[in-house]
């Protein structure tokens, strides 16, 4: 696996390195040892999946707080997404965002560290996303920030056609 740092400290793009033969390819998507070698958390408590029917469905921006703060590895297994990370941690990077296109075709993954909100906009109908998560879900620790919060200024490729009321109504971010 190839690990490429992003402009958010501790967040990485992970590209599988496929081994090709006449049958197709084989590639590793998860290796706790390789994550550890990069100083990343390699624990998985649960694996979750989302499926979005319509193009331009927005999910997020979500994160969790202690004692169940999560690290995630996000991977699009069908369709494609415009994936966004927002650093909420105190310091000079706070409110910085980065984006990447993840797709079934490019097989890229994103490593999302604790303290960083995550969300995405689907670019295709019938998109599926897989999440490898370091902690068990605890609703009392779940949080979110609004996708269009002026504190971040995220430039989405299209307005959301579908969004959960909860995701559309988070209050303005305050550090």
What is the four-CA torsion angle of 45, 50, 56, 57, rounded to 10 degrees? Answer: -90
- 81 occurs within a structural domain: yes
- 172 occurs within a structural domain: no
pLDDT for 133-172, tens place per residue? 999 999 999 999 999 999 999 999 999 999 999 999 998 9
For the chain, give the mean pLDDT: 95
Residue 32, classed as helix, strand or coil, is helix
Residue 53 is a catalytic residue = no
Please count the structural domains in the chain.
1
Domain that holds residue 89: 2-19+27-166
Indicate which residue of 19, 111, 118, 131 is catalytic. 131
Residue 62 is a catalytic residue = yes
On whether the pTM is more than 0.85, the answer is yes
- 136 occurs within a structural domain: yes
Q: What is the CATH number of the domain that holds 45?
A: 2.60.120.10
Give dist(CA 60, CA 16) in Å, integer: 25
What secondary structure does DSSP assign to 93-125, as a single string?
A: TTT-EEEEEEETTT--EEEE-TTEEEEEEESSS
Q: Is the pLDDT of residue 32 over 90?
A: no
Q: Which residue has the higher pLDDT, 33 or 120?
A: 120
Indicate which residue of 62, 63, 75, 111 is catalytic. 62
pLDDT for 88-105, tens place per residue? 999 999 999 999 999 999
- 65 occurs within a structural domain: yes
């Amino acid at each position: 696996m190839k690990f490429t740092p992003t402009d958010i400290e501790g967040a990485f793009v992970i590209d599988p390195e496929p081994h090709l033969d006449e049958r197709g390819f084989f590639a590793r998507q998860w290796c706790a040892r390789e994550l550890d070698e990069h100083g990343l958390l390699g624990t998985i408590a649960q694996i979750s999946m989302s499926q979005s029917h319509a193009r331009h469905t927005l999910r997020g921006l979500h994160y969790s707080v202690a004692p169940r703060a999560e690290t995630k590895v996000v991977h699009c297994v069908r369709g494609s997404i415009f994936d966004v990370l927002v650093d909420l941690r105190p310091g000079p990077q706070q409110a910085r965002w980065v984006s990447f296109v993840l797709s079934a075709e490019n097989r890229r993954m994103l490593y999302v560290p604790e303290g960083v909100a995550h969300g995405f906009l689907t670019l295709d109908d019938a998109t599926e996303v897989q999440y490898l998560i370091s902690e068990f879900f605890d609703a009392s620790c779940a949080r979110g920030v609004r996708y269009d919060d002026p504190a971040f200024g995220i430039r989405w490729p299209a307005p959301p056609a579908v969004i959960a009321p909860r995701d559309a109504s988070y209050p303005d971010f305050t550090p």
